[in-house]
Amino acid sequence: MFNRSKKETRDALAALGREIEQLRADIQQQIDLVARERQSALEYAERLTMIEGKVSGMGAELSRQLHELGNDIESLSQRPEDALTAESLTLLRNSQVRLANEQARYEIAFRQDLAALAEQLRRPH
C-alpha cells in the first residue's frame, strides 16, 4: 500500500471504506434478525403460558367434576338397590368414563400443542 501512487492508495482506501460499510450493514441485518427471533420466542412463550393456564384450568375443572361424580356414585351405591337406582348408577358411571376420556383428550392435545410450539422455537425462520 505504501509503494502505490496517491490515486491507487485513495482507491484502496475507498474500497476498504465500502467493505467496512457493507460489513456494518450485514451486522445490522444480523442484529435485526436476532431481535425479531427474540420477539418471536417471547410471543411463543406468552402463548405457551396462556395455553398452559387454560389447559390447567380445564384439567382442574374436569378433575373436580369427576370427583363430584364419584361422590354421587358412592352415595347412590349405598342406597337400597332398585331399578331406578341401578339405572342412575350406570348412567353416572358412564358419564364419569366420558369425563375421564375427555380429560385425557385435553391432556393429549395440550402435549401436542406444547410439542408443536417447541418445534417452532427450535426451527430457524
Q: Give the pLDDT of residue 16.
A: 94
Residue 96, domain member (yes or no): yes
Containing domain of residue 33, as a range?
A: 6-122
Q: In this structure, what C-alpha cell is assigned to residue 18?
A: 465500502
Q: Give the pLDDT of residue 32.
A: 95
Q: How many structural domains is the chain composed of?
A: 1
Q: What is the mean pLDDT of residues 81-86?
A: 68
Q: Give the pLDDT of residue 124.
A: 65
Q: In angstroms, rounded to a whole number, what is the distance separating the alpha carbons of residues 34 and 23?
A: 16
Residue 1, domain member (yes or no): no
Residue 111 has pLDDT above 70, yes or no: yes
Higher-confidence position of 19 and 88: 19
Model confidence at 34, pLDDT cuts 50, 70, 90, reads: very high
Q: In angstroms, rounded to a whole number, what is the distance separating the alpha carbons of residues 97 and 65?
A: 12
Grid look-up 374436569 returns: 62
Residue 62, domain member (yes or no): yes
Residue 11, domain member (yes or no): yes
Q: In angstroms, rounded to a whole number, what is the distance separating the alpha carbons of residues 1 and 13?
A: 10
Q: Give the pLDDT of residue 125.
A: 58
Q: What is the mean pLDDT of residues 10-16?
A: 92
Residue 56, domain member (yes or no): yes
Cβ atoms of 56 and 97 within 8 Å: the answer is no
